[in-house]
Amino acid sequence: MSALTVYAASIAHAIRTSLRDRTNFLLQALGMVLNDGFFLVLWFLFFAGFREVGGWGRSDVALLLGIIMIVVAISGVFFGGYRDMAATILKGELDSLLTQPKWVLPRLIARESIPSAWGDLVVGLILLSTTAHLAIVQLPLALIALVCGLTVYVASGTLYASLAFWFAGARSFARDLTDFMLLFSSYPGSIYSGATRVIAYSILPAGFVVLTPVKLLRTPDAETLALAISASTIYFTLAVCAFHFGLRRYRRGDVNASLA
């Protein structure tokens, strides 16, 4: 509970800070709405000429995009620190956090709330409530699917950022991996096969971020639900362990010595 209390206080401050400059906040949020809108127009134009792609129709793709937009939105608003965590580690900014006898990781992921993420949230909610044909009765299952996808996404971002405890190039590498994971999550799962499918369910876990949640909502069964929950638990555990192993190394001073 102490970790949750620390996180809640930190993210509340980060959100208030992001709202302080209202003009900047609105410009970033509206800019993301326009960006998402342009991306959706391309998909709608595609489905104007083709009925489906690999068995995925327009409503299926809308569900996929709605889920990934909301996952990215919630990550940005409430866990925005994951995005530049590698840079924070490499710059030595953990030192100030280590002087306080409180949980480090919750404060680190709550250091920032990204204004543009609210634009993703608006577009994602509109997609799920309209084109995706998500029914009200599916809402409880949709919440479970979103929580599982969100957990894998933030955990993966944290896992990538934790590489900064071991090598200096992790800042750009972690961002690239997160961007590739997002890219993999933005297309129907039917396009992945062979090696790319293995990657989509392991290193860049788009399969667990969005494809499994989509399957859970379209054809719900106990096996898919168990898979989604198991994957989120595993990635969460891996991220926490990797960060704390790296943090121990950081405390000993091994990080600065190896990166020098």
The per-residue pLDDT for 98 is 85
Chain segment 14-53, per-residue pLDDT in tens:
999 999 999 999 999 999 999 999 999 998 898 888 888 8
Chain segment 238-253, per-residue pLDDT in tens:
999 999 999 998 887 7
d(CA 20, CA 246): 34
Full-model pTM: 0.93
255 vs 55 pLDDT, higher one: 55
Q: Does 1 have pLDDT greater than 80? A: no
Chain segment 154-207, per-residue pLDDT in tens:
999 999 999 999 988 888 999 999 999 999 999 998 889 899 999 999 999 999
